[in-house]
Structure 1
Amino acid sequence: MSTRAYRECLDAMFGMRRFGIILGLETIGNILKGLGNPQDTFRAVHIAGTNGKGSIASALATILQQAGYRVGLYTSPHLIKFNERICINSLPIADDDVVASWEAVKAVHYGDREPTFFEFSTAMAFHEFGRHGVDYAVIETGMGGRMDATNVVSPAATVITNISLEHKTYLGDTIAAITGEKAGIIKPGIPVITGVTQKTAKKVVENIAAEKSAPVYLKGRDFRVRRNGQNRFSYWGFDHTWTGMQTGLIGSHQVENASLTLATCEALMRGGAEISMENIQAGLILNNWPGRLEVVSQKPFVILDGAHNLMAARSLSRFLQDNLAGRPITMVAGILDDKPYEAILKDLLAPCERLIITRPKIDRALPTAVLREVAASLIANIEVIEDVGDALRHALATVKPDDAVCVAGSLYVVGEAKAALEKAGDSLFQI
């Protein structure tokens, strides 16, 4: 197939953004029925929550692949190229596969309305997983859970990572309401692994699970970890004790994410999956999740982290303060308009001495003038460069070799920064 066909189908898909966010399962159900219900051809792990979904999903997919299974991975958003959303055995699907799955989905009957971008891409992912004969598919929800387009799978395990206030327009304005939406992925009799911490969130998860006779495995009660260094830890679970473990992803929160990953492995093993400790060790080390505390240069030290909500911004701020104390840090940041940008910016700037405000090419990006007004009371050294690539190039051209640059605030900002780095190669780092 031609490059032109690939571009045309993506242009059509991205044009679906005009339909906005519509939660519901009828349209996706109609599409999948027309495709022969590919979601029924593989075992799934379904993951919801506020933070850590992608890191846990990619770790599980890597572990299952190490165990000899053929594994699909569906996540969002992508950083540089749409194909990243749909991976099989760690590799994004080919351009030709994107076009073929687009044509397959477009050919079926949708029902009363056209699908949204996310519904269409979800159907494409399930179609590809079925066509390629995956054994397992690790699937991250897009928003919420109960009415999310991914909530048509019959999973072997469900994971609810953690809960904070987000997407209040769609999910509710309390922890209990949001938890209820995310816990909507719980299925009758299927184990639930969760890292929720708030009493109200725990109660909602346990009540919904009890109604569906689904066993619940709670972090801190049924499984736990103890760090033995930044990325090293020991794990005590409900069936196994594993010591000498290590995650390839940096940041103390990644050890917590790894605990949910290992508990999910235990649940899958109870269901018949053949996974060894060696598979788990290798999968954790090999796991790669771009754009999340991703170090792309040492001199200067350059790190990319989406930090796209308040919890993630606080984790990044702690990492910078713990690991780069005393080192001049330039923050390159842009934030979307549906985020608590004032609180996010306050956390992001706490360890920094300089800010370059930018704006990703998405209609939900916050105007730089709004961010500048907020930042003026938080930091003195502020510059505004609208284009993300230009902002990163300027940052690298104006720091010393021992300084640090952090790109954060949105996965869309990180994606454009990665694209600029990919295009320029090593030339950007010749200071």
Structure 2
Amino acid sequence: MTYKEILSHLYALGRFGMKPGLERITALLAALGNPEGKLAVVHVAGTNGKGSTAAFLDAVLRAGGLTTGLFTSPHLISFTERFRIGGIEIDETEVVSLARRVIAVAPPGSTFFELVTAMAFLHFAERRVDLAVMEVGMGGRFDATNAASGELAVITPIALDHCTWLGDSLAAIAVEKAGIIRPGRPVVSALQESAALDVVVEKCRADESPLFLCGREFDTTWESGFLAYHGLGIEIPHLVPGIAGRHQAMNAACALAAAELLGRQGLTVDKCAMERGIAAARWPGRMEFFDTAPRILLDGAHNPAGSLALARSLADVPRRRLILVVGVMGDKDVAAILAPLLPVADEVFTVTPPLERSLPAEDLAACCREQGGQRCTAAGTVADGVRRAREAAGPDDLVLVCGSLFTVGAARAFLLGREFEAVRG
């Protein structure tokens, strides 16, 4: 099969959705010789910030001279973004080779994400990375990445999202996220709502896993424009995060705490490397600016907590007017996603992301108007929305594209003149 044929095959599997359980991925990895057992793995789970936290940790470890594998999902533009070694994306030829081998031994009913996760484990094991940073896809307990026994678990802020699959309360969702915790292995956690924190604390107690909590064992503060890290055993006073947004402070802190703990296990990174890594970290589509006229900001905020963090970060972004381009998935809490953003938007263009479960632009526009967003226009495709927003904006205005990673991915592809590979999962 060619690269495009591989993507078509994997995408077709994605149509059958999520199937809880680890039995298929366990059998698949066994057929591949259990590559996950040859890897040191850090799992990064949570609702918001897990991709940024994984990117910070990967950059810090690489700055310290370690060879890392980084697995993330979903991609923004190209499927190859999901697999990085030493910060470099996998090439299409390797995707074809890995996918052929994985597909050949996959048990019946294997899902898109199970096959892709197996590809990541196989790729990283064969390249002999020092550590694999694995962003958990959804949940944690039954996520395919959890087939590996992690050296360390990182849990970013837990919020309500994917409630159909994970539960309709913070406590229920926290149970799923906390499933990445391993007996006796350290856990780094961001600040959590009390209902989620209670679950994490109890899981750590039951498993005798030491918990390192942001705001308690480590923390960060903004001081004179710099981010100061108050760590488990070190202080770094002058950090400049390479990923924008004040909310990235906690993501950076969790990554640094994880790096400190990995140092106790022999993967040592010194303070200078930590500082360089935090500065070098990049995570496209998250508070990503395009320095055009007007400026364009891409952010993948796709749930209420994410849109609230985005709205707060906008307070630090100078502009005359804010032109919003928004597209969301139909299974999201649309009203809650829009609520923090509509009051600060001067004009809104709604779009339909190129995915089957997208909410049509016309329906989204109706939701905006119901919430008081009167200057709202259904623009159609993501590209059309970006074009119309640019036409409406003055040189000192800011165009913000948000609502879904798929919206942001399509917009980024349009702005860069690249093809958008609409493979979900």
**TM-score in terms of structure 2 length:** 0.96
Which residue does the alignment assign to 1:411? 405
1:309 aligns with 2:303: yes
Matched residue pairs, number?
A: 418
1:94 aligns with 2:91: yes
1:346 aligns with 2:343: no
Contact kept in structure 2, 1:337 and 1:365, CA below 8 Å: yes
Shift of the alpha carbon at 1:298? 4.5
Matches within 5 A, 1:31-430: 31-110=28-107, 113-230=108-225, 232-324=226-318, 327-377=320-370, 378-423=372-417
Q: For residue 96 of structure 1, what is the amino acid of its counterpart?
A: T
Q: For residue 14 of structure 1, what is the amino acid of its counterpart?
A: Y
- Cα separation, 2, equivalents of 1:67 and 1:309: 34
Which residue does the alignment assign to 1:7? 4
- Cα separation, 2, equivalents of 1:321 and 1:220: 24
- Cα separation, 2, equivalents of 1:109 and 1:394: 45
Contact kept in structure 1, 2:191 and 2:215, CA below 8 Å: no
* Partner deviation per Cα, 1:262-288 (whole Å, 9 max, x = no partner): 111111111111101111111111100
Shift of the alpha carbon at 1:345? 1.3
Q: SS at 1:121's partner residue?
A: helix
Shift of the alpha carbon at 1:109? 4.4
Shift of the alpha carbon at 1:407? 0.4
Contact kept in structure 2, 1:72 and 1:86, CA below 8 Å: yes
Question: Is the deviation greater in 266-275 or in 92-101?
Answer: 266-275
- Cα separation, 2, equivalents of 1:163 and 1:224: 18
Contact kept in structure 2, 1:23 and 1:149, CA below 8 Å: no
Shift of the alpha carbon at 1:402? 1.1
Shift of the alpha carbon at 1:176? 1.1
Q: For residue 174 of structure 2, what is the amino acid of its counterpart?
A: T
Q: For residue 146 of structure 2, what is the amino acid of its counterpart?
A: N
- Cα separation, 2, equivalents of 1:153 and 1:295: 36
Shift of the alpha carbon at 1:389? 1.0
Contact kept in structure 2, 1:321 and 1:351, CA below 8 Å: no
Which residue does the alignment assign to 1:429? none
- Cα separation, 1, equivalents of 2:105 and 2:205: 38
- Identity of counterpart residues, as a percentage? 40
Q: 1:335 to 1:168 in 2, by over 3 A?
A: same
Shift of the alpha carbon at 1:365? 0.4
Shift of the alpha carbon at 1:399? 1.7
Shift of the alpha carbon at 1:398? 2.7
- Cα separation, 2, equivalents of 1:349 and 1:251: 19
Q: For residue 279 of structure 1, what is the amino acid of its counterpart?
A: A
Give runs of ≥4 in structure 1 deviating > 4 Å: none
Question: Is the deviation greater in 413-422 or in 314-323?
Answer: 314-323
- Cα separation, 1, equivalents of 2:119 and 2:267: 26
- Cα separation, 2, equivalents of 1:38 and 1:371: 44
Shift of the alpha carbon at 1:254? 0.7
Shift of the alpha carbon at 1:199? 2.1
* Partner deviation per Cα, 1:95-119 (whole Å, 9 max, x = no partner): 0010001001011141xx3211111
Contact kept in structure 1, 2:18 and 2:111, CA below 8 Å: yes
Q: SS at 1:150's partner residue?
A: helix
Which residue does the alignment assign to 1:18? 15
Contact kept in structure 1, 2:247 and 2:313, CA below 8 Å: no
Which structure has more relative contact order (CA 8 Å, sep 6+)? It is 2
Contact kept in structure 2, 1:43 and 1:135, CA below 8 Å: yes
Q: For residue 254 of structure 2, what is the amino acid of its counterpart?
A: L
Contact kept in structure 1, 2:236 and 2:275, CA below 8 Å: no
Q: SS at 1:151's partner residue?
A: helix
- Cα separation, 2, equivalents of 1:146 and 1:49: 12
CA RMSD across the alignment:
1.5
* Partner deviation per Cα, 1:183-203 (whole Å, 9 max, x = no partner): 010001110000142222222
- Cα separation, 1, equivalents of 2:198 and 2:404: 31
Q: 1:313 to 1:99 in 2, by over 3 A?
A: same
Gaps of 5+ in 1: 425-431
